Amino acid sequence: MKISCGASFLTSEKMNNIFINGKKEAIRNVDHDITLLDWLRNNLKMTGTKEGCAEGDCGACSVIINEENQSNLKPVNSCLVRIGQVVGKNIVTIEGLGNDKKPHPLQVAFSRENASQCGYCTPGFIISGVSLLNSDKEINDNTINDAFSGNLCRCTGYSPIIKALKTVAKYDVQIKPKHFKEETYDIKLGNVTYHHPVKIDELKKLTKNKNFKFLAGGTDLNLQRPIINEKENSIISLSSIEELKKIKVSNNKILLGSSVTIETFLEFIEDKMPEIVEILKRFGSPLIRNQATIGGNLCTSSPIGDLAPVLLVLKSNLNIFGKDGRKSIPIKDFFKGYRKNILKKDQILVSIEIPIPHKSNKLFFWKLSKRFDQDISTISLAINIKTQNQIIKEIYIAAGGVAEIPKDLDNLSRRMINKNTDEAIKLAIDDIDKYINPISDLRGTSLYRRDSFKGLFKRLKRCLKDDVKTMSVMEF
């Protein structure tokens, strides 16, 4: 029997390394599913990085991935990184920033401002804070809250943490961690090999036997224990494939590689389609967004994935690659059921073609959740609409959290088209039960989902009337 933990050994001849705070550390005696967090704490005895939840939602385990040619340091949750994903990479941990003899200025500021109480979350906040200070972002309440949206503190109530960050002068505290270049290569850990193909065509060979699993960012798959089933012995990482990492813009569309991280997409799209920014900023936290990919979010095909409704109403197409070649399909044909899609075992999503909507179209992307930041949608609604003299000329509606798949509400769109906006919205509200049939779960009752869905149409009406982009409690 094959087990997926502990007691097996590195069998590869080649020495495999990870650079931790500029020091080369060999990967020894670990199985394929060990996380970066456990490796740091148990194997390297570096216990400054803490485990708070092991599900990527508290940030106590934050570390920085220092990519070559990347001006920004990327903080991630080390509990969601498998060691095979970061072979040859450079990591900065809390120990790499300072110690009591020679602390980093942000560590001093945290101490001075009483920004730690029990102290367990503190290293994670320092990692997120230093990453923000190292970025080219302006430092204000908004960027600070964005940067800390993946870090939970249960003691301080955050105020002194935010204050501490504001007291340090940005350009005095930037760090320039050393970067060592080493190729990312295939690595065998236990009985499982992590493959890191660079060219898409390599997949044809790698997928010949059926015993593999694709891995994108890993923020979903790495939550599962075990991550692969007993028959599988190979993990094919998609994050090094050049074609999947590209973003191209032409005058009428965006071609978005599936391995582009949500954070990269967010930075790219900010000036091109600002309507998407808010919903992308509420996608996990920077710690998640630096790791999670566009392709991963679509291919998990969760009904509450935040991207699908957006891409549905933008009438995006998906480019797919497999052993039988390439094809392109409209995104509405992609989802097949709860966490199911049309991809065959050997197929991957290569890229997404997003037509840039006409300037006269209005885009609304709304998400409702118990908490604003880093929460999973109770429902979400995406609308792409064009009106002329209060008549709806064009409309696409899609929703998350109202069915077992991200729901393309084309029936509703068709009924609303060519009608007066007020009349059409009233119709949507009155007949809501014809179009959605949400369930009750821990994120909200069926009744709430229905009532708030109506509420979002009321919001739509107000936004169109007042000609505003959105209408949210966050504006206050």
Partner 1 sequence: MNKIATHDSSIRHTTGQAIYIDDIPDQENLLHGALVLSKCAHGKIKKIDFSRLKNLPFQTTIVTAENIPGENEIGPIKTGEPILADDIITYFGQPVAVVLAKSFQEAQYASDLVKIEIEHLDSILTLENAYNKNSFHDDPIILEKGSVEKEMKKSKFKKSGEFEIGGQDHFYLETHVAITFPGENNEYTVWSSTQHPTEVQHGVSKVLNIPSAKIDSKVRRLGGGFGGKESQATIFAGISALCAFITHKPVKIRLNRHNDMTASGKRHNFKVRFTVGFSSNAKINALDIILLSNGGNVLDLSGPVMTRALTHLDNCYFIKSIKAYGYICKTNTVSNTAFRGFGGPQGMLVIENILFSISEFLNKSLDDVRQINYYSQSNGLTTPYGQIVSKPRINWVLNETYKLSDYHTRLKQIKSFNLDQVKKQRPFRKGLAVMPAKFGISFNKPSFNQAGALIHIYSDGSIRLNHGGTEMGQGLFVKVAQVVAECFKVSLDQIHITSTNTAEVPNTSATAASSGSDLNGMAAWNAAFTIKKRMIDHASQLFKKSKSEIIFEQGRILAGNKSLSFTELAFSCWENRISLSSTGFYKTPKIHWDQGKLKGHPYFYFTWGAAVSEALIDINTGENRILRADIIQDCGNSLNENIDIGQIEGGFIQGLGWLTCEELCFSQEGKLLTTGPSTYKLPGSRDVPPIFNVKLLENADNDEKTIFRSKAVGEPPLLLAISHFLALKEAIKASLPSSKAELLNSPATPSEILKAIYA
Site residues (CB under 8 A) for partner 1, limited to 130-149: 141, 144-145, 148-149
Site for partner 1 in 83-112 (CB under 8 A): 93-95, 97-100, 103, 106-108, 110-112
| Of positions 151, 290, 293, 297, contacts partner 1 by CB under 8 A | 151
Q: Residue 108 and residue 113: Cα distance in Å, rounded?
A: 9
Strands 187-189 and 192-195, bridge-based pairing: antiparallel
| Using rule CB under 8 A, residue 172 touches partner 1 | no
Site for partner 1 in 109-128 (CB under 8 A): 110-112, 114-123, 126
Site for partner 1 in 441-470 (CB under 8 A): 442-445, 447-448, 451-452, 454-456, 458-459, 462, 466
Contact of 151 with 121, CB cutoff 8 Å:
yes
Mask 42-61, x = binds partner 1 (CB under 8 A)? Answer: x--x-xxxxxxxxxxxx-x-
Which DSSP symbol is given to 349? E
| Using rule CB under 8 A, residue 400 touches partner 1 | no
| Using rule CB under 8 A, residue 432 touches partner 1 | no
Nearest alpha-carbon partner for 219 in 298, 153, 289: 289
**Binding span for partner 1 by CB under 8 A among 12-20, 150-158, 331-339, 397-405:** 150-158
Q: Residue 294 and residue 306: Cα distance in Å, rounded?
A: 10
Contact of 128 with 92, CB cutoff 8 Å:
no
- Chain centre to alpha carbon of residue 152: 18
Site for partner 1 in 319-338 (CB under 8 A): none
- Which residues is 386 bridged to in the sheet? 394
| Using rule CB under 8 A, residue 472 touches partner 1 | yes
Which DSSP symbol is given to 440? P
- Which residues is 152 bridged to in the sheet? none
In sequence order, what DSSP letters do the residues of 272-308 get, joined into one string? T-GGGHHHHHTSS-HHHHTT-BHHHHHHT--TT-SHH
Site for partner 1 in 370-389 (CB under 8 A): 370-376, 378
Taking the complex as a whole, how short is the minimal distance between the CB of residue 153 and partner 1, in angstroms? 8
Taking the complex as a whole, how short is the minimal distance between the CB of residue 43 and partner 1, in angstroms? 11
Pick 20 or 54: Cβ nearer partner 1: 54
Q: Residue 393 and residue 387: Cα distance in Å, rounded?
A: 5
**How many beta carbons lie within 10 A of that of residue 413, not counting itself?**
22
| Using rule CB under 8 A, residue 38 touches partner 1 | yes
How many residues lie near partner 1 (CB under 8 A)? 98
Pick 101 or 181: Cβ nearer partner 1: 101
